[in-house]
Structure 1
Amino acid sequence: MSASAADPHALGRGEVPISERGPAPKHIVVAYGFWIFLLSDFILFSGFFAAYAVLVTATAGGPSGREVFDLPLVAWETAALLLSSFAAGMASVAMLAKNRLWFQVGMAVAGALGTLFLCGEVYEFAHLIGEGNGPGRSAFLSSFFALVGCHGLHVALGLTWLTTMMAQVWTKGFRDDIVRRVQCFMLFWHALDIIWVALFTTVYLLGSGV
């Protein structure tokens, strides 16, 4: 038996030294780099969460979360975003099966639900500002708008990315480079769900005294 047959993954001591192997495969470099990006994004949101935690009681005589949060609206937003993530997951299954039609259907549903979530968030912000409870009203509202608005901005960027991926798969199919981009998008989209669940719990549920 040859050495390569006995050790197909080159795990033995007789392999080429790491310093002489050349660059890592592109899919490894892309995945590693994107995980670093996601971790940096989590650190960014950690800063916003920390600021909110410090300023949540700094209402300056203005309303508190219990008085301004519309929990039924936010619950519908949460359902839309979670279902959007599920639809994106179904699209990734279709991608593994090389099925363009169901991939496009899954991504379209994910995009529609993500847009619905974003519309609810814009309505909430417009309603608060219309009642005089904008970010300039108090430090509490400033931190609230910054935290929730940052998440909303990420969702808007994600929807743009989603549309781009749909167009690329439609025109070029499931090429290796496009599959890598879709996989990175899926990680990003599911990460937004994780952040929103934390945000919904700490900001809306705790803020409303539920």
Structure 2
Amino acid sequence: MTEQVQVHDPYQEAGQQHEADMMGMYLFLATELMLFGGLCIVIVIYRFLHPEEVVAASARLHLWIGAINTVVLLTSSLAVAAAVHLARRARAGPAATWLLAAVGLGLAFLGLKAQEYHAEYREGQLPILSDPPQFAGPVEQLFMNLYLFATALHAIHLTIGIALVSGLSWLLLKRRIALPQQAVRVEVCGLYWHLVDIVWVFLYPILYLAR
């Protein structure tokens, strides 16, 4: 594949050029990992400081909705990985199809999450929105605040990923991305999507399984 990639100055090898192209994305992903990593650490520390209250609050979360969404996101990452594999082999149509499958799964995740938020709102467990709130105490309320902030921030990142992957699919279908020369564009979007997936893989156990 690399011999088909056009090398531009100042690079002399396709591999060297590819590494340079990916460096900026790696730096961006590192900042995102620090953001979500810090948030996860706060939640874990809070769990150890107030074990009984956090367990009680976590037990009110909809465990099976979170579990289904975890499977949905893992499957979407598999679809994106397949798209990257096909893009490297200059198969634009199939790559776009797999990306659209990932978009569909991402939308399914957001739909399930919206239903979960609605259920929590009706149960008085959603901070800010629920009126009147049904929290047993300030510790449980703060845990639910952390839950809402973490999952909403994740949903925003997933929405951005859906927009990026949808646009990339359209460009592939219109043959406006030269493959495999510009397969790095698919790889970069794929890395972002995998980041969103990895973040949820950590959020699910520390939020839903803290019981």
TM-score (ref. length: structure 2): 0.78
Residue 48 of structure 1 contacts residue 146 of structure 1 at CA under 8 Å; is this kept in 2? no
Residue 161 of structure 1 contacts residue 185 of structure 1 at CA under 8 Å; is this kept in 2? yes
Residue 58 of structure 1 contacts residue 139 of structure 1 at CA under 8 Å; is this kept in 2? no
- Give a deviation string over 1:91-115, Cα, whole Å, max 9, x none: 1121122112211211111111111
- Give a deviation string over 1:39-77, Cα, whole Å, max 9, x none: 11000001211232344449989x6111x2111111111
Bigger Cα Rg: 1
1:60 and 1:72 map into 2 onto residues whose CA distance is 21
The answer to whether the aligner puts 1:93 opposite 2:85 as a matched pair is yes
What does residue 171 of structure 2 align with? Answer: 168
The answer to whether the aligner puts 1:192 opposite 2:196 as a matched pair is yes
What does residue 82 of structure 1 align with? Answer: 74
What does residue 33 of structure 2 align with? Answer: 42
What does residue 137 of structure 2 align with? Answer: none
Mark the CA change 1:168 to 1:177 in structure 2 (over 3 Å): closer, same or farther. Answer: farther
1:170 CA displacement: 2.1
The answer to whether the aligner puts 1:112 opposite 2:104 as a matched pair is yes
* Ranges of 4+ aligned residues in structure 1 off by more than 4 Å: 21-26, 58-61, 175-178
Mark the CA change 1:34 to 1:177 in structure 2 (over 3 Å): closer, same or farther. Answer: farther
Which AA in structure 2 matches 1:31?
M
RMSD of aligned residue pairs (Cα, Å): 2.7
Number of equivalent positions: 186
Mark the CA change 1:22 to 1:102 in structure 2 (over 3 Å): closer, same or farther. Answer: closer
- Give a deviation string over 1:123-150, Cα, whole Å, max 9, x none: 1112212221122451111111111111
Instruction: Tell me which of the two structures has the higher relative contact order, counting C-alpha pairs closer than 8 angstroms and 6 or more residues apart.
Output: 2
Residue 114 of structure 1 contacts residue 155 of structure 1 at CA under 8 Å; is this kept in 2? yes
Mark the CA change 1:99 to 1:186 in structure 2 (over 3 Å): closer, same or farther. Answer: same
* 3-state SS, counterpart of residue 64 of structure 1: helix
The answer to whether the aligner puts 1:65 opposite 2:58 as a matched pair is yes
**1:129-140 correspondence to structure 2 within 5 Å:** 129-136=121-128, 138-140=141-143
1:140 and 1:111 map into 2 onto residues whose CA distance is 30
Residue 81 of structure 1 contacts residue 193 of structure 1 at CA under 8 Å; is this kept in 2? yes
1:141 and 1:37 map into 2 onto residues whose CA distance is 28
Percent identical residues: 22
Residue segments in structure 2 that go unaligned for 5+ positions in a row: 1-8, 134-140
TM-score (ref. length: structure 1): 0.78
1:139 and 1:58 map into 2 onto residues whose CA distance is 13
Which AA in structure 1 matches 2:178?
F
1:55 and 1:100 map into 2 onto residues whose CA distance is 47
